[in-house]
Amino acid sequence: MKTYLVTGGAGFIGSNFIHYMLGKYGDSIEIINVDKLTYAGNLENLKDVENLPNYHFVKADICDKDAIRAVFHDYDVDRVIHFAAESHVDRSIREPELFVKTNVLGTANMLNCAKEAWELPDGSFREGKKFCHVSTDEVYGSLPEDPDAYFYETTPYQPHSPYSASKASSDMLVKAYHDTYGFPMNITNCSNNYGPYQFPEKLIPLMINNALAGRKLPVYGDGRNVRDWLYVEDHCKAIDLVSEKGISGETYNVGGHNEKQNIEIVKTIIEVLREELSDDDPRKANVSEDLIEYVEDRKGHDRRYAIAPDKIHKELGWLPETMFREGIRMTIKWYFDHMDWMEHITSGNYQQYYEKMYGDRKVIG
């Protein structure tokens, strides 16, 4: 039985990963979910697995040395799948130090505790152990609009936001542990994910939630920044594959060759929402392009991200399976079926967050 220590498993990708892994491997694996439950962590995401005998939840901060040591003491961990992070760029612009603490110092602590648990007296590492660090394409910086320019594993790091700088630092630490100690690891650098359980501070769920409430859809700047969108389950499959077959020390870029301007995404959401809402649903009348409002740009806003996933395709056989139109429809249907989930997370501090982030943003068109 393989034992996975998943950090940040109550967040968006982490909870999707836990569902995917338990669905695929059933009781032949054991999962320990370590999460601090920040605003982004929600145990409601894991309601259907919480009573399984091979799933365990530990509420802990990845920066807490004693707590993380205790997890390695209590379980013979084979894989660390390290998702836990502060993940929202806009928040990092307002509160950069928190990002350094969680993403850099938290990762350093995870690495130290894993090394301590896995290292043998001769300095080598116990067989079959690996640390999989889940990172982002944002570490590579921003691409020009030239459609032939892509991020490769060899592209030099050039992060611009406090978020991406903190993720870049954490990647560097993971690589340094490999180069210095021979620590077994992989890094995945993935593009923008979308799908179920995504917190409505990120573009797609924020737009779905606002449109259904008849609230303005705040598009930053000219709306033509490009992101490369991947359905979250495809990302989970890539992480599983890298965890199983990735060569220690290697980095793999993960992306779907699915570049879209933000304004296209917003218009697609409006279109699909209108198709999915029945004519007698009172919300349908609200959902139109009239809701789109161009607002003051994000500071330091990266123009374009685009991943070249050639290496993970050629070496490990990974390919994205969900087409965008299908993925966005599944996502919208998921939100329709889980309006109570959305209500629970937007009923508390979310209103204050929204006011702070959007209340003083200038409307530019």
Closest CB to ligand NAD among residues 106, 256: 106
Smallest separation, CB 120 to ligand NAD (Å): 28
- The residue from 6, 22, 31, 40 that contacts ligand NAD (CB under 6 A) is 40
Number of H helices, E strands in the chain: 13, 12
Query: Could you confirm whether 181 is annotated as catalytic?
Result: no
Catalytic residue among 138, 171, 201, 228: 138
Smallest separation, CB 300 to ligand DAU (Å): 11
Query: Are 349 and 356 contacting, i.e. CB atoms less than 8 angstroms apart?
Result: no
Would you list the DSSP string of 17-42?
HHHHHHHHHGGGEEEEEEE---TT--
Task: Give me 129's structure tokens.
Answer: 């152990």
Q: Does 192 bind ligand DAU (CB under 6 A)?
A: yes
Query: Are 183 and 175 contacting, i.e. CB atoms less than 8 angstroms apart?
Result: no
Closest CB to ligand DAU among residues 178, 227: 227
Query: Could you confirm whether 137 is annotated as catalytic?
Result: yes
Distance CA 100, CA 9 (A): 20
Would you list the DSSP string of 186-220?
EEEEE-EEESTT--TTSHHHHHHHHHHHT--EEEE
Partner whose footprint covers residue 218, from ligand DAU, ligand NAD, none (CB < 5 to 8 Å by kind): ligand DAU
Distance CA 20, CA 92 (A): 29
Query: Could you confirm whether 290 is annotated as catalytic?
Result: no
The SS3 call for residue 189 is: strand
Backbone angles phi, psi at 234, to 5 degrees: -65, -35
Point out which span in 29-37, 133-141, 235-243, 278-286 binds ligand DAU (CB under 6 A).
133-141
310: amino acid identity, one letter: D
Distance CA 109, CA 1 (A): 26
- The residue from 35, 171, 233, 234 that contacts ligand NAD (CB under 6 A) is 35
Q: Which helix (H) or strand (E) holds 251?
A: strand 251-254
Closest CB to ligand NAD among residues 92, 291: 92
Q: Does 87 bind ligand DAU (CB under 6 A)?
A: yes
**Cβ neighbours, 10 Å, residue 38:** 17
Catalytic residue among 163, 194, 231, 252: 163
Task: Give me 105's structure tokens.
Answer: 């110092």
**Cβ neighbours, 10 Å, residue 50:** 12
User: If we measure between CA atoms, which residue out of 39, 12, 350 comes closest to residue 209?
Assistant: 350
CA atoms within 13 A on the CB side of 131: 31
Partner whose footprint covers residue 309, from ligand NAD, ligand DAU, none (CB < 5 to 8 Å by kind): none
Closest CB to ligand DAU among residues 298, 313: 298
Binding mask 150-189 for ligand NAD (x = CB under 6 A): -----------------x----------------------
In the region spanning residues 116 to 145, those forming contacts with ligand NAD, defined by CB under 6 A, are 134-136
Partner whose footprint covers residue 219, from ligand DAU, ligand NAD, none (CB < 5 to 8 Å by kind): ligand DAU
- Catalytic residue numbers, as ranges: 137-138, 163
Q: Give the footprint of ligand DAU on this chain (CB under 6 A).
A: 87-89, 136-138, 191-192, 202-203, 206, 218-220, 225, 227, 262, 298, 305
Residues interacting with ligand NAD, by CB under 6 A? 7-8, 10-14, 35-38, 40-41, 61-63, 83-87, 102, 106, 134-136, 167, 190, 192-193, 199
